Structure 1
Amino acid sequence: MEGGSASSPVTQYWQQYSMLFQHYLDKSTPHAAYRWIGTAILASIYILRVFYLQGFYIVSYGLGIYLLNLLIGFLSPLVDPQLEPSDSAVLPTKGSDEFKPFIRRLPEFKFWYSFTKACCVGFVMTFFSVFDVPVFWPILLCYWAVLFVLTMRRQIAHMIKYKYIPFNIGKQKYGSNKSSASRRGSRAE
């Protein structure tokens, strides 16, 4: 072989598939609502399959733990002021601090993509009986619920302590013009 290496047909096909997949993934980026609707449908199909088969509870438990971990990354700031004091963009801790936007540790798109991949992997695992380990599912469900409540409680306490909201609710309104005009008029009298 001279100058370059010859690619096998499988490698060429894989590269074309990867480019096409990335193209459609990039096109889906601005359509967050549709992406999440599709993922909700996929998760519903997974739940129905597990319910219908009456098994694969350990797979569901593992999926639940992984999704909880993703949720924590989605709700957490990129730089945690509790762990890493730094000079870069951190959350303001005092009223006199400069405003710094909330930057997530796990961006929404990566959160969605990992969530969807995990649901797909869990769904595929339900087709192999080796993953259907017999367990008493109510204990797993109770343990996951306790873990979820404790984790969310800790995360909410962190959000309150460092005064940040990880959701963009839209433009903040400070009051209507009518009420502020009436207050100005009453002060002038």
Structure 2
Amino acid sequence: GFYIVAYAVGIYYLNLLLLFLTPSIDPALEDDDDGPVLPSKSNDEFRPFMRRLPEFKCWHSAMKATLIAIFCTFFEFFNVPVFWPILVMYFIILFFLTMKRQIMHMIKYKYIPFTVGKPRMAGKEDTGKVVVG
């Protein structure tokens, strides 16, 4: 039972995931150079990925949605008889189509939503000399 509640929570989780993976400043909407931009070359200054939905708010919203869904299962009103395989197939199709669109957006605007390969500051090599000061 309660397939509609589970489906609604799944759609909300998918929405949270998409907000978590998108940048706070969408390069598709921002064509001017007034605001901060994503680095486009390897020699550009390192800028961390700024998310539209920060990690803590994502987890907080997911926990609230989970608690609300659990609360909804206490009422028989939300136990609507549905054919659950259709909901599962529709959710899988929706997930793959939205993730394909999101990945194409990432490829088009050349951004990665995770900080990978951050340049590290390297000091001079140790020569073994002791500096007395």
Category of TM-score, reference length = shorter chain: 0.7 to 0.9
Aligned to 2:4: 58
Counterpart check, 1:122 vs 2:69 = yes
- 2: CA distance, partners of 1:61 / 1:120: 15
Deviation at 1:95, TM superposition (A): 5.9
Aligned to 1:40: none
Q: Which amino acid aligns with 2:101?
A: R
| More helix as a share of residues | 1
Deviation at 1:84, TM superposition (A): 2.7
Relative distance call for 1:108 and 1:144 in structure 2 (3 A) is same
Q: What is the number of equivalent residue pairs in this alignment?
A: 119
Q: Which amino acid aligns with 1:75?
A: L
Counterpart check, 1:85 vs 2:31 = yes
Match 1:153 to one of 100, 107, 110? 100
Deviations 1:28-76 (A, max 9, x none): xxxxxxxxxxxxxxxxxxxxxxxxxxx0000111101111000000000
Aligned to 1:6: none
- 2: CA distance, partners of 1:98 / 1:88: 15
Q: Give TM-score scaled by structure 1 length.
A: 0.58
- 2: CA distance, partners of 1:122 / 1:170: 39
**Bigger radius of gyration:** 1
| Superposition pairs of residues 97-108 of structure 1, within 5 angstroms | 98-108=45-55
Aligned to 1:131: 78
Structure 2 gap segments, 5+ residues each? 121-133
- 1: CA distance, partners of 2:118 / 2:37: 21
Q: Which amino acid aligns with 2:7?
A: Y
Q: Which amino acid aligns with 2:109?
A: Y
Contact map agreement 1:91 1:100 (CA 8 A) in 2: yes
Displacement over 6 Å in runs of 4+: none
Relative distance call for 1:64 and 1:149 in structure 2 (3 A) is same
Q: Which amino acid aligns with 2:74?
A: F
Q: Which amino acid aligns with 1:89?
A: P
Counterpart check, 1:69 vs 2:15 = yes
- 2: CA distance, partners of 1:138 / 1:167: 34
Q: Give TM-score scaled by structure 2 length.
A: 0.80
Q: Secondary structure at the match of 1:113?
A: helix
Deviation at 1:166, TM superposition (A): 0.9
